[in-house]
Structures are given as structure tokens and as C-alpha cells.
Amino acid sequence: MSGSLWRNSDFVKMWTGESVSLFGTYITQLAFPLTAILALDATASEVGFINAARFAPFLLIPLFAGVWVDRHRRKPVLLAARAGCAVALCAVPLAQTSGLLSIALMCVIAFVIGSLGVVDQIAYQAFVPSVVPKDQLVRANSGFMGSESVASVAGPGVAGLLIAAITAPVALLVNAASFVFSTVMLLFVRAEEEKPAPPDGDKRVFAQILLGMRLTLGNRVLVSLIGWSGTYNFFHSGAFTLVVIFLVDELGVGAGSVGVVFAVGGVGALLGAVAARRAGDRWGVGRTMVGAMAVAAAPWLLVAFAHDALTGVLVFGAVLFVNGLGETASNIHSLSLRQSVIPPELLGTVMGGMRFLIWGLIPVGSLLGGVLGTAIGLRPALLLCAAGMIAACAWPLATKLFRIRSAEDVTLTLTR
């Protein structure tokens, strides 16, 4: 067993920068759609287009980004991606002050931020094992997701206040500043990364992508994770596209109260991060992942009971609380499992492939959520998405994913 995780100065620096960056990200999660709704009077379909543009990069570039990450040291890639996100976020308030802000421009900015985010997250997940010993990956991921949970508590609440005080576009500057801080903290991380070996003459980009896909699709556990998570994300992204506009336009909830709703959801996520390791030790990785995600999906059916501002705040507070608790506990073990069993030299490639297969459905779900909200109404569309999230749990049940006790139960066969 390695020493205390919190005595690892590189981890502490990385965790501190990531925590601040996550705080800003949760401000943007609320400020970006509210900018479209309040400043541009966006419809449900237009919010869907913006969300689809933000997540479209997960469909277009993760396979190539994963290979690229594996062929470079991960730290410089992280530095460039986070600095780029800071610059892109500044474009929204600048466009507003110059009178150039539009739905189309917000889609472009969202796409740029999403593209940099794809590279950032693949490089970050591949870099963590260089900073943290394998036996501490669950603790490290719990620490990162615990920070995300705290940020999700404070971020939306602060975002609501900032939006009320200085408008939504200007609030995005706070996230830009958080990316600058995260970039500076990464500069002080001294963990040594092995220089990636140059690719063999016959190991071209597509050959490496195919190698990663064979490794991924040749293992029933990873296939089950992909099918389950992809289906869940498809419907979850549709629901999240509709949440803010449903609260604001249909139920009359103010920006500050919307922030409170999302903050309550963050409390649940924090509890999920705290409980994840203990739950995994007691029930096993598989049962914890599957049970936690089922818990995350079911409360969305409560949307049927939200009929005014008060019930909207209460219902969606409860929904996001339980959703955050279940999602976080499940994701910690899912990510740690992948980081433990995937060969280090292919970590970026496989993570990119899984991100393509899992997250590639998010822009489609976001777009469909917006279209359904306009076509059949916001409430029926939300309930349809809730049913889809629950149905996603059939994947791990059918493939017996719940029987996995630990990473040692998963064997990956690498065929070169």
C-alpha cells in the first residue's frame, strides 16, 4: 500500500487546480444556457442546438485525440487545452458588449470549448496514473469527484447570484479565470512522464485507433459499460437540455432559485463521492456501479409532480440530489476500473474510443431533447427521457456486469 495520497504534493497541486476549474465549470453550466435564454430569448430547440454544439466534439474527435494524447506527454496537452478554454470563454461577454452575440456564435463558441474539453479530459484521465499509484486511483478519483461535487454545490448558487448581479455572459469570465488558475497549478506539477515511444512505421493513426477499438470491443465488461453509459447519457443529455428552460419558462423559477436547485444536486454528488469507496469495498465494484446508476435514473419520473415555481424547486432539487449521488458513486468506480486495466501506453487511445462511443450520443440526445421539448411539450419530453435513463440499466443486468468484485476480475487481451 502506498503512502498517504495527501502527502503527494503533485496530486495536491493537480487536485487544487482541478477543483477551482470545476467550480468555474459549474458556473458556466448554468450561465451558458441562461445567456441564450435571457439575452437572446432562445427557444427549447435553440438551447438544444447550443448543447449539441458543445457536445458534438465527443462524436467527432475523441478517437484522434486519444491517439494524439498517447503520442505526446500529457501535461503540455493539458496546459494548452485549459489555456484555450479560458480564451474561448472570454469571447461571449466580448461579443455581447459589441452587439455581435447570437445563437449561431454561441454554437461556435460551445463547439470550441467542447473540442478543447475532449482533449483536456482524455489527457487528464491518462495523466492521473502518472501522478498517483495504481492502488490509490479510487481515492484519487474520489478526491477529484468530491471536488466536483463541492463545486456543483457552490457553483450554481454563486452563478445565480452573479447572473443576477452582472448578467450571464459576464459571469462566464469567472470560469475563464478558473482555467487560468488551473493552468498555473499544473505548471508546478513535477511528476515524471515517460516520453512516448515514436510510433512504428506501420502503426499509423488509424491502425492505433483500430487497436484500441479491438481492445475495447473485445472485452464484455467494457462493451457493457459502453452500451449502458451511452444509452444513459443519450437520454440524460436530453433531460438536461430541457431542465433550465422548463424551470424558467414553464414554472417561473428565477435565476437565483435555479442555482439553488443545481446546488442541492451537488450535495448529493458530494455524498456519492464520499460513499463510493466504502460501498465498493462492501458490495463490489459491479453492484455499486449498477445500483448507484439505477438510483440516479429513477427520480427523474418525479418531474410529473412539478407544477409551479415552489414544487419545481422542491422536485428538481430532490431529483438532482439523488441523481448526483448515484452518478458520482458509479462514475468513480467506472473510471478507476478503466484506468486500472487498460495498458498505460494505450490509455489515451482507449479512453478516446470509449469517450467517442459513450459521449458521442450526447449531442444527439441534446438535439433530440430540444426538438421533443418543442414538438410535444417540455414535461412529456422530460418524462420520456426519464424512462430512457431507467431502461439503460438493462445493459449491465443482461451482461452480468454487477458480478464484478474488483479490477482483478477484468482481463483485457491485447492483440497487436
**Res. 156 pLDDT band, cuts 50 70 90:** low
413 burial type by CB count under 10 A (0-12 exposed, 13-18 middle, 19+ buried): exposed
SS3 call for 94: helix
Question: How confident is the model over 351-409, as pLDDT tens digits?
Answer: 778 878 887 888 888 888 888 998 999 999 999 999 999 999 888 877 777 777 776 66
Of all residues in the chain, the percent with pLDDT exceeding 70 is 92
Model confidence at 216: pLDDT above 80: no
Q: What is the mean pLDDT of residues 161-174?
A: 79
pLDDT at 299: 92
Question: How confident is the model over 87-143, as pLDDT tens digits?
Answer: 999 998 899 888 888 999 999 999 999 899 888 888 888 888 888 887 787 788 778
Question: How confident is the model over 80-95, as pLDDT tens digits?
Answer: 999 999 999 999 889 9
Q: What is the DSSP letter of 247?
A: I
pLDDT at 111: 94
Of all residues in the chain, the percent with pLDDT exceeding 90 is 23
- Please give the model's pTM, rounded to 2 decimal places: 0.69
Q: What is the mean pLDDT of residues 10-22?
A: 89
Distance between CA 259 and CA 31 in Å, rounded? 10
Question: How confident is the model over 290-323, as pLDDT tens digits?
Answer: 888 888 999 999 988 899 999 999 999 999 999 9
Q: What is the mean pLDDT of residues 271-289?
A: 83
pLDDT at 130: 84
**Res. 410 pLDDT band, cuts 50 70 90:** low
Name residue 414's amino acid.
L
Task: Looking at 218-308, list the stretches that DSSP marks H as alpha helix, in order from N- to C-terminal side.
Answer: 220-245, 255-283, 285-297
**Res. 3 pLDDT band, cuts 50 70 90:** low
pLDDT at 202: 45
Model confidence at 413: pLDDT above 60: no
Nearest to residue 84, comparing CAs of 49, 123, 47, 46?
123
Q: What is the mean pLDDT of residues 11-37?
A: 84
Most confidently modeled of 49-58, 155-164, 227-236? Answer: 227-236
The b-or-e profile of 269-295 (16+ CB within 10 A means b, else e) is bbbbbbbbbebbeebbbbbbbbbbbbb
Q: What is the mean pLDDT of residues 61-80?
A: 84
For helices 220-245 and 347-359, what crossing angle results, to 10°?
50
Model confidence at 1: pLDDT above 70: no
**Res. 149 pLDDT band, cuts 50 70 90:** low
Under 8 Å between Cβ of 383 and 304? yes
For the chain, what is the mean pLDDT?
83
Neighbours of 94 (CB within 10 A): 12
pLDDT at 105: 94
